[in-house]
């Protein structure tokens, strides 16, 4: 009989979202008329911006003409989209990133896991705890970790705890590491990293000859002027960092799919015999072999995110979610809870009340307020005692959820 990839068997069985679904289903069976409000999963809820939709419609009609029809596009993405990205997201912020260094993809989730394809097995890996589960699971699946150990941690990974105790600032690892996953603004904690904190990581990575995998999926939600939107705002980052960006959360492309990775041409790794290898070349080769690009229609939609209408519509979307976030935060503080995040990210990270753990608080909110959130422990051992509420919902639902929690 064929063999399966045994690494998959190391994965944690009772994964977070299925367990949430199980508990919610169980609750609904007993309370079929309950009006549940979901502030759990990190998916957007507002419609696609009009500018993006119009651009996609035009692109569909173009595809219906002989002259406008397009087959396979460049695996790296269309030049016109990469130019807009380089100009608007990077050069406008003083980051020296060229269109050639941008690779369009169908998601940051895929990019942040696929990147392991071009990196060796022997790299020592650091993740924050709590963490976006994709970084950990993709390392497990590709055989880069040991077995699942106590507290749901995997052998072989270096965990960097982030909690109120360190102000949600990961500390530099005590043992040397080669790959560091950082996500700012952070999912799940909603924390952001200052210029100073990011500089600390860039300096560390350059000194260690390590690589930072920087996930900036939530950069559009940054409200404070002084918080960097890109790792490349930090001197030296071109020598040590890959950045992942996505149209999912800012432009509502979670169902439409478009994202990109930035691989500066100044990034190198070593081959076994000690030769320097350009990471850009490997990623270009990887994408050209395993990927056939994102739909022309969708790339035109993403391009429209950079038009003046697109920018203002996205700004409105982000403001809408951030108003939800503020509403959640202020209501919970009034209700006597201790909360973090929510100022520069669409996530509010709640310290669960004394005497409860993350899952007890989950059940409590589900039963008493019919509100579904996400237990912090599902994102890692150091997330125990915390709970995530997301700002992705209608104003009415957020307001109702907060009224119910206030009444508890």
Ligand X SMILES: *Cc1c(COP(=O)(O)O)cnc(C)c1O
Interface with ligand X by CB under 6 A: which residues? 42, 107-109, 132, 183, 187, 215, 217, 246, 248-249, 254, 259
Taking alpha carbons only, the member of 229, 165, 234, 159 closest to residue 203 is 234
CA distance 229 to 243: 11
Write out the two tokens for 103.
């690779």
In the block, tokens 């935060």 appear at 329
Q: Name which of 163 and 374 has its Cβ closer to ligand X.
A: 374
Closer of 78 and 221 to ligand X (Cβ):
221
Report d(CA 229, CA 220) in Å as an integer. 8
Q: How far is the CB of 212 from ligand X (least distance, A)?
A: 15
Q: In the complex, what is the shortest distance from the CB of residue 107 to ligand X, in angstroms, rounded to a whole number?
A: 3
Distance between CA atoms of residues 337 and 252, nearest Å: 30
Q: Which is nearer to ligand X, 46 or 357 (CB)?
A: 46
CB of 133 to ligand X, least distance (A): 9
- Shorter beta-carbon distance to ligand X: residue 20 or 369: 20
Determine how many CB atoms are found less than 10 A away from the CB of residue 100.
Answer: 16
Tell the smallest beta-carbon distance from residue 250 to ligand X (Å).
10
Rounded to a whole number of angstroms, the minimum distance from the CB of residue 248 to ligand X is 3
Angle in degrees, CA 32, 36, 42, rounded to 5: 135
Least separation in angstroms between CB 106 and ligand X: 8
- The smaller minimum CB distance to ligand X, of residues 109 and 144, is found at 109
Min. distance of Cβ 31 from ligand X in angstroms? 30
Closest residue (Cβ) to ligand X? 107
- Is the Cβ of residue 183 or residue 305 nearer to ligand X in the bound state? 183
Angle between helices 395-406 and 308-334 (to 10 degrees): 10
The DSSP string of 9-74 is GGS-SS-HHHHHHHHHHHHHHH-TT---EE--S----SPPPHHHHHHHHHHHHHHTSTTT---S--
Nearer to ligand X, 90 or 135 (CB): 135
| 3 state SS of 99 | helix
């Amino acid at each position: 009989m064929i063999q399966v990839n045994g690494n998959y068997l190391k994965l944690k069985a009772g994964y977070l979202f299925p367990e949430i679904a199980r508990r919610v289903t169980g609750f609904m069976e007993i309370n079929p008329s309950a009006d549940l409000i979901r502030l759990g999963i990190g998916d957007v809820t507002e419609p696609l911006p009009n500018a993006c939709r119009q651009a996609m419609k035009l692109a569909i009609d173009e595809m219906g003409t002989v002259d406008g029809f397009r087959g396979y596009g460049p695996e790296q993405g269309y030049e016109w989209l990469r130019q807009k990205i380089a100009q608007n997201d990077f050069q406008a912020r003083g980051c020296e990133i060229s269109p050639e260094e941008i690779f369009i993809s169908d998601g940051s989730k895929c990019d942040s896991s696929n990147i392991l394809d071009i990196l060796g097995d022997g790299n020592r890996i650091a993740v924050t705890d709590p963490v976006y589960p994709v970084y950990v699971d993709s390392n497990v699946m590709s055989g880069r970790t040991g077995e699942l150990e106590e507290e749901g941690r995997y052998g072989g990974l270096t965990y960097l705890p982030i909690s109120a105790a360190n102000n949600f600032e990961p500390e530099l690892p005590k043992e040397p590491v080669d790959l560091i996953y950082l996500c700012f603004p952070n999912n799940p904690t909603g924390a952001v990293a200052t210029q100073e904190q990011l500089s600390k990581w860039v300096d560390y990575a350059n000194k260690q000859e390590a690589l930072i995998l920087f996930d900036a999926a939530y950069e559009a939600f940054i409200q404070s002027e002084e918080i960097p939107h890109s790792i490349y705002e930090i001197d030296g980052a071109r020598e040590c960092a890959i950045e992942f960006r996505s149209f999912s959360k800012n432009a509502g492309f979670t169902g439409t799919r478009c994202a990109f990775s930035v691989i500066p041409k100044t990034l190198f790794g070593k081959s076994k015999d000690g030769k320097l290898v350009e990471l850009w070349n490997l990623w270009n080769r990887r994408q050209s072999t395993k990927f056939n690009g994102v739909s022309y229609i969708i790339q035109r939609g993403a391009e429209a995110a950079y038009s003046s209408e697109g920018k203002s519509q996205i700004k409105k979307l982000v403001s809408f979610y951030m108003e939800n976030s503020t509403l959640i935060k202020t209501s919970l503080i009034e209700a006597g809870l201790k909360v973090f995040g929510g100022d520069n990210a669409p996530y509010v990270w709640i310290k669960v009340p004394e005497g409860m753990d993350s899952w007890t608080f989950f059940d409590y909110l589900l039963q008493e307020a019919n509100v579904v959130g996400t237990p912090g422990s599902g994102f890692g051992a150091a997330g125990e005692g915390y709970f995530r509420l997301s700002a992705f919902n209608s104003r009415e639902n957020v307001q109702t959820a907060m009224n119910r929690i206030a009444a508890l």
